[in-house]
Amino acid sequence: MSKNYINTVGKKIVIDVGLDIHDATIMKMKIKKPDDTLVEWIALLEGLTAITYTTVSGDWDQAGRYLVQAYVETPTLISLGETTSFEVYNTFK
């Protein structure tokens, strides 16, 4: 299943930040929803350079384009990743 659909739960999102963040103390995905609502999802470390988040109920409550940006803090670094995006579709699209 390549498309993302509204109200999907359990979809894993992975962002490779391109830096060694194994000692990160804060990891988030900053999200801008299609209606311009801003939210943050608490992420987990995946490997040495990526963060991951698995969707829960209410995350994909709107169809449209979502903007995503990684935010990571380590003892020596505070970093925002490049903004990326993905589409969430209404059912039967």
Instruction: Map out the domains of the chain as residue ranges.
Output: 4-89
Give the model's pLDDT for residue 89.
Answer: 96
For 46-64, write each residue's pLDDT tens digit: 999 999 999 999 999 999 9
Question: How many Å from the N-terminal Cα to the C-terminal Cα in the chain?
Answer: 13
Give the model's pLDDT for residue 93.
Answer: 63
Q: What is the pLDDT along the chain (93 residues), one digit of tens a residue?
A: 589 999 999 999 999 999 999 999 999 999 999 999 999 999 999 999 999 999 999 999 999 999 999 999 999 999 999 899 999 999 886
Count the Cβ atoms, other than its own, within 10 Å of residue 59.
20
CATH number assigned to the domain covering 4-89: 2.60.40.1220
Which amino acid does the sequence have at 61? D
Give the model's pLDDT for residue 80.
Answer: 93
Own/partner pairs for 54-58, CB < 8 Å, 24+ apart?
54/10, 54/11, 54/12, 54/13, 55/8, 55/9, 55/10, 55/11, 55/12, 55/13, 56/9, 57/7, 57/9
